[in-house]
Amino acid sequence: MQKIVFKQRLKEKTLELDEKIKFNSRKYYISIIYKKNIAFFKFRKKKIILVVMYSEEEVKKIVKNHTIGRLSVSVQRYYGGDCCKIDIMSKNNLDEIVSLISQMITISE
C-alpha cells in the first residue's frame, strides 16, 4: 500500500467535510485535530494503524471491511478516553474511514 497516496486521498476527502480539520504530522504518527485530537495514524511496513477516539461498539457499526481491535485500559488512559484501533491493510473502502471521521466531527460539535 502506498502510504503517501493514502494520506493524500484521505486528507482531501476529510477537508471536504470541514475546513477546520488539521493534520498534525509528527515523527511517528499523524493526528487529526478538530477542536481536539480525534484520530491518530501510525504507519507500519505492511499496514496503517488508525487509533480513533470513539467507542469500539460505535466503530463496528460503521467500519465493516477493516480489522477493529480493542485497546487495553492503560492504553486508553494514555490516549485520554474511550478509543479503539483500526488496522488498514489496503486503500480500498476509504469511504468507511471518511464516514467514521465525519460522524466523530458531528459528535464533537
For every residue of 45-84, DSSP letters joined together read SS-EEEEESS-HHHHHHH--SSEEEEPPHHHHHHHTSS-E
- Domain span at 57: 3-108
Average predicted confidence (pLDDT) for the chain: 88
Hey, what amino acid is at 40?
F
| Among candidate residues 26, 57, 48, 51, the one with its CA nearest the CA of residue 93 | 48
Query: Band of the pLDDT at 39, cuts 50, 70, 90?
Result: very high
**Full-model pTM:** 0.87
Average pLDDT of the residues in 61-79: 93
pLDDT reading at 7 higher than 80? no
**pLDDT at residue 59, as a whole number:** 93
**pLDDT at residue 106, as a whole number:** 87
Average pLDDT of the residues in 98-102: 90
Read off the CATH number of the domain in which 16 is found: 3.90.1150.30
Distance from C-alpha of 77 to C-alpha of 64, rounded to nearest angstrom: 26
Domain count, the chain: 1
